[in-house]
């Protein structure tokens, strides 16, 4: 009887901690040094993403891009259409073109590779101070609350560029600020910065 309870506890733990276990296995399979060697130079990836975001913003096309850091986003890739394509500005703009099958979901990027498109992200339950923020922003903050991903959002309503990171939403970023963010530098300005507050 005792053994049966242990089996049940192990199965429950595997279900509850599945994202953490996946992230651990990913780290074991690809240690930090190996992952660094596999990556396209970070500045090149940032340039492609920034160019795509700039073009999407100028044309008023909404978009959401989740850029994986240390924690695996594999669970979210599985909710969309799996891809295996190098990040390019042209491809990102094409994915988010209006009325295409994948434009409503998120793109997930790992090490300069687009892993999936049309992916579903968890929605934040936080209370936003600005009620004009839509589902894309809520999904971006939601993912940033449960992972260390950098999530870039282009607003379809006003073409503004935002970044969600660690539960915070940085709004009205310029393309230069976005590039700095993707290269590891937090935005220096505080204007138009919105922090989602905890749910009451």
Between the alpha carbon of residue 22 and those of residues 15, 75, 113, 132, the distances in Å are 11, 9, 19, 35
The pLDDT value recorded for residue 58 is: 94
The 10 Å Cβ neighbour count of residue 55 is 17
Q: Are strands 106-110 and 63-67 parallel, antiparallel or unpaired?
A: parallel
Please indicate, yes or no, whether residues 31 and 45 belong to a single structural domain of this protein.
no
Is residue 200 included in any domain, yes or no?
Answer: no
The pLDDT value recorded for residue 193 is: 45
Number of domains in the chain: 2
At 141, list the tokens.
């903050």
Q: What CATH number is given to the structural domain containing 136?
A: 3.40.1700.10
Please indicate, yes or no, whether residues 91 and 145 belong to a single structural domain of this protein.
yes
Please indicate, yes or no, whether residues 10 and 100 belong to a single structural domain of this protein.
no
Please indicate, yes or no, whether residues 67 and 21 belong to a single structural domain of this protein.
no
Please indicate, yes or no, whether residues 5 and 71 belong to a single structural domain of this protein.
no
Q: In what order do the strands lie in the sheet with 106-110?
A: 81-86, 113-119, 106-110, 63-67, 150-154, 161-165, 168-170, 193-195
Please indicate, yes or no, whether residues 47 and 68 belong to a single structural domain of this protein.
yes
Is residue 120 included in any domain, yes or no?
Answer: yes
Is residue 109 included in any domain, yes or no?
Answer: yes
Q: Which domain holds residue 44?
A: 40-195
Please indicate, yes or no, whether residues 18 and 68 belong to a single structural domain of this protein.
no
Full pLDDT tens readout for the chain, 200 residues: 455 555 556 665 555 555 555 555 545 544 444 344 344 446 788 999 999 999 999 999 999 999 999 899 999 999 999 988 999 999 999 999 988 888 889 999 998 899 999 999 999 888 777 777 888 999 999 999 999 999 999 998 889 999 999 888 998 899 999 998 888 776 555 434 444 443 33
Please indicate, yes or no, whether residues 31 and 55 belong to a single structural domain of this protein.
no
Please indicate, yes or no, whether residues 8 and 65 belong to a single structural domain of this protein.
no
Please indicate, yes or no, whether residues 18 and 66 belong to a single structural domain of this protein.
no
Is residue 170 included in any domain, yes or no?
Answer: yes
The pLDDT value recorded for residue 130 is: 75
Please indicate, yes or no, whether residues 121 and 52 belong to a single structural domain of this protein.
yes
DSSP string, the chain: -HHHHHHHHHHHHHHHTHHHHHHHHHHHHS-HHHHHHHSPPHHHHHHHHHHHHHHHHHTT--EEEEE--SS--HHHHTTSEEEEEE--HHHHHHHTSTTSTTTTSEEEEETTEEEEEEE--PPP-SBPS-TT--HHHHHHHHHHHHS--EEEEE-TTT--EEEEETTEEE-S--HHHHHHHHTT------TTEEEPBPP-
Is residue 48 included in any domain, yes or no?
Answer: yes
């Amino acid at each position: 009887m005792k053994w049966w309870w242990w089996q049940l506890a192990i199965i429950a733990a595997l279900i509850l901690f599945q994202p953490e276990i996946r992230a651990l296995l990913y780290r074991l399979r690809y240690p930090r040094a190996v992952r660094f060697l596999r990556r396209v130079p970070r500045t090149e990836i940032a340039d492609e993403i920034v160019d795509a975001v700039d073009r999407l913003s100028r044309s008023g096309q909404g978009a959401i891009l989740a850029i994986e850091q240390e924690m695996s986003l594999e669970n979210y890739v599985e909710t969309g259409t799996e891809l295996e394509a190098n990040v390019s500005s042209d491809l990102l703009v094409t994915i988010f073109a209006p009325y295409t099958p994948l434009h409503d979901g998120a793109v997930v990027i790992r090490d300069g590779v687009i892993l999936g498109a049309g992916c579903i992200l968890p929605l934040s339950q936080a209370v936003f101070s600005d009620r004009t923020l839509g589902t894309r922003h809520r999904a971006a903050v939601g993912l940033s609350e449960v992972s260390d991903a950098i999530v870039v959002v282009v607003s379809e309503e006003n073409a503004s560029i935002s970044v969600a990171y660690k539960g915070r939403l940085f709004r009205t970023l310029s393309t230069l600020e976005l590039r700095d963010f993707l290269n590891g530098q937090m935005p220096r300005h505080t204007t138009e910065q919105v922090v989602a507050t905890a749910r009451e």
